[in-house]
């Protein structure tokens, strides 16, 4: 702590010196010294230890009521790793993930549970394989009746629904249509708590399989979507869509023009 403070003071003095025209090389030297003294954070991916999916789900459900859906999933998984592995997870302030609540600070875009899952995956799996695991989680989420995990001490009984989409808005509103509850009701909040637990559990199951070198895609991108993207995606005759994956295109584009090829 003390050493850090001293370094910081020297660094600031160094910048002042540069402003007075003492010269660039001195500043570069100080910057190098400064970065070398920074306490080390290991490079990604961080070590993963196989977790109990139910323990992660329960931790996620509890965290949901403290910081929302993204925090719930992220803390559900990283909290288990913190308990099992220790450093470097002990140094990670998972509270940053609160931003993802209700589709990013209430914007209804990406479901926060999915956002938290992807962040956790990228912490422990290299990007190329991480993307495959994210694909599996997102497609499963879109195609499965969720929530499918019931916490040990639930506040209400919750029925599942299929969202067809990774979006918070679609996921919540379809559940409201299916069950008759309002979008800002305590039942809907509880539903998202169960969903947070469900996503944490499924994510840990995928990460455990990956750790065992047994990960396999169970929910491929639907053919309907890959058909659309053959023309609208990379290299297609009408390359104007910047997404290479979806659960459904026709959920939004339900009436194409009569002249559409």
Indicate whether 253 belongs to the interface with ligand HEC (CB under 6 A): yes
| Cα 48 to Cα 113: distance, rounded to the nearest angstrom | 20
- Contacts to ligand HEC from residues 151-170, by CB under 6 A: 167
Interface region with ligand HEC, contact rule CB under 6 A, candidates 4-12, 119-127, 200-208, 235-243: 235-243
| Cα 38 to Cα 120: distance, rounded to the nearest angstrom | 24
Choice from 22, 230, 234, 239 touching ligand HEC (CB under 6 A): 230
Kindly state the tokens that stand for 247. Answer: 């659960």
Indicate whether 241 belongs to the interface with ligand HEC (CB under 6 A): yes
| Residue number with CB closer to ligand HEC (53 or 166) | 166
- Shortest reach from residue 252's CB to ligand HEC, in Å: 3
Kindly state the tokens that stand for 112. Answer: 């926060």
Output the CA–CA distances (angstroms, integers) from residue 191 to 36, 162, 186, 200, in the order listed: 47, 13, 9, 14
Write the burial class of residue 199 (CB in 10 Å: 0-12 exposed, 13-18 middle, 19+ buried): buried
Interface region with ligand HEC, contact rule CB under 6 A, candidates 32-40, 126-134, 207-215, 243-251: 243-251
Q: Of 107, 160, 103, 139, whose CA–CA distance to 221 is shortest?
A: 139
Indicate whether 234 belongs to the interface with ligand HEC (CB under 6 A): no
Q: Which spans of this chain sit near ligand HEC (rule: CB under 6 A)? A: 167, 224-225, 227-232, 237-238, 240-241, 243, 246, 249-253, 256-257, 259-261
């Amino acid at each position: 702590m003390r050493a850090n403070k001293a370094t910081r003071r020297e660094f600031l003095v160094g910048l002042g010196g540069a402003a007075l025209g003492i010269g660039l090389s001195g500043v570069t030297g100080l910057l190098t010294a400064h970065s070398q003294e920074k306490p080390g954070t290991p490079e990604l991916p961080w070590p993963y230890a196989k977790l109990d999916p139910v323990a992660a789900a329960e931790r996620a459900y509890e965290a949901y009521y403290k910081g929302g859906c993204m925090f719930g999933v992220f803390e559900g998984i990283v909290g288990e790793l913190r308990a099992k592995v220790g450093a470097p997870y002990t140094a990670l302030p998972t509270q940053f993930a609160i931003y993802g609540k209700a589709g990013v600070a209430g914007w209804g875009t990406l479901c926060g549970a999915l956002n938290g899952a992807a962040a956790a995956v990228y912490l422990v799996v290299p990007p190329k394989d991480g993307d495959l695991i994210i694909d599996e989680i997102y497609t499963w989420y879109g195609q499965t009746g969720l929530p499918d995990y019931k916490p040990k001490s639930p506040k209400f009984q919750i029925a599942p629904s299929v969202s067809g989409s990774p979006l918070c808005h679609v996921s919540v509103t379809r559940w409201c249509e299916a069950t008759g509850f309002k979008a800002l009701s305590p039942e809907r909040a509880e539903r998202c708590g169960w969903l947070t637990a469900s996503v944490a559990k499924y994510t840990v199951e995928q990460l455990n399989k990956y750790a065992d070198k047994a990960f396999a895609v169970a929910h491929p991108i639907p053919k309907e979507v890959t058909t659309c993207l053959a023309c609208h995606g990379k290299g297609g005759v009408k390359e104007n869509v910047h997404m290479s994956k979806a659960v459904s295109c026709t959920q939004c584009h339900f009436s194409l023009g009569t002249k559409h090829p």
